[in-house]
Amino acid sequence: MRKILSFMHVSLDGYVAGPNGEMDWIKLDDKLFDYVGERTNTVDLALYGKNTFDMMESYWPTAADKPNATKHDKEHSAWYKKVNKLVASTTLQSNDPLVTVLGTDLPQRLREIKNQEGSEIIMFGSPGLVHSLLEYELIDAFWLFINPVLIGKGIPMFEGLKHITQLQLIKTDIFQKSGVVCLNYEKI
């Protein structure tokens, strides 16, 4: 059975984006990019909310072609272009054979996909989708990248929880240069 993994940058005070969706406070460095790259290379499905998918589509397909493309841009662009993508949307239309629009009855569709053969499903960002999937108890693990910054207001990581979800700490990684701490939790 596949697991859904949520990868999310979060401020120390619990926000995943500023009030207008700002993410310019996120601390990144090459070690962090390599760390995430090692993990993404093991999955065969990426899950996005529509807004995050639109943002990814506007950058990653051509990121490696830019004259100032970094090692991370080249590697993640190559991964993004070959990975199968699931998009939680009822309005998106796509002819891309690598994109599956989940449409209505999201919980049931994801349960069916989780029961198919394959590796894990990785979800980047998409806080609204995280909130929805928590309601249906569909997230199996969290990879929280805690950034050393307080932003005071914005989009909270966890909002509107209707039940307690017990988690077990699996691994902690510290990125000294950026000050980011990655906490990997799995649902008990």
Q: What is the pLDDT of residues 133-153, one digit of tens each?
A: 999 999 999 999 999 999 999
Per-residue CA distances from 69 to 30, 54, 74 (Å): 13, 20, 6
Fill in the amino acid letter for 148. Answer: P
Separation CA 162–CA 90 (nearest Å):
24
Q: What average pLDDT does this structure show over 64-88? A: 96
Give the CB-side neighbour count of residue 98, counting CA atoms within 13 A: 15
Separation CA 130–CA 10 (nearest Å):
13
Q: Which CATH number describes the domain made up of 4-187?
A: 3.40.430.10
Phi/psi of residue 100, each to 5°?
Answer: -115, 120
> What residues form DSSP beta bridges with 44?
none
pLDDT at 125: 85
Q: How do beta strands 15-17 and 155-156 pair? A: antiparallel
Separation CA 146–CA 181 (nearest Å):
5
Q: Which two tokens stand for residue 16?
A: 């995943």
pLDDT at 173: 97
Average pLDDT across the chain, whole number? 94
For residue 24, give every residue at least 6 positions away whose Cβ sits within 8 Å of its Cβ, in sequence order, or none: 18
Tens-digit pLDDT profile for residues 79-121: 999 999 999 999 999 999 999 999 989 999 999 999 999 999 9
Fill in the amino acid letter for 146. Answer: I
Burial 28-53 (b: 16+ CB within 10 A, else e): beeebbebbeebbeebebbbbbbebb
Q: What average pLDDT does this structure show over 55-78? A: 95
pLDDT at 149: 97
* Residue 121 neighbours by CB distance under 10 Å: 23
Asked if residue 9 has pLDDT above 90, the reply is: yes
Asked if residue 163 has pLDDT above 90, the reply is: no
Provide the pLDDT confidence category of residue 164 given band limits of 50, 70 and 90. Answer: confident
Q: What average pLDDT does this structure show over 30-38? A: 93
Q: What average pLDDT does this structure show over 22-27? A: 95
Asked if residue 159 has pLDDT above 90, the reply is: no
**88 in Cβ contact with 107 (< 8 Å):** no
Separation CA 135–CA 130 (nearest Å):
9
Provide the pLDDT confidence category of residue 52 given band limits of 50, 70 and 90. Answer: very high
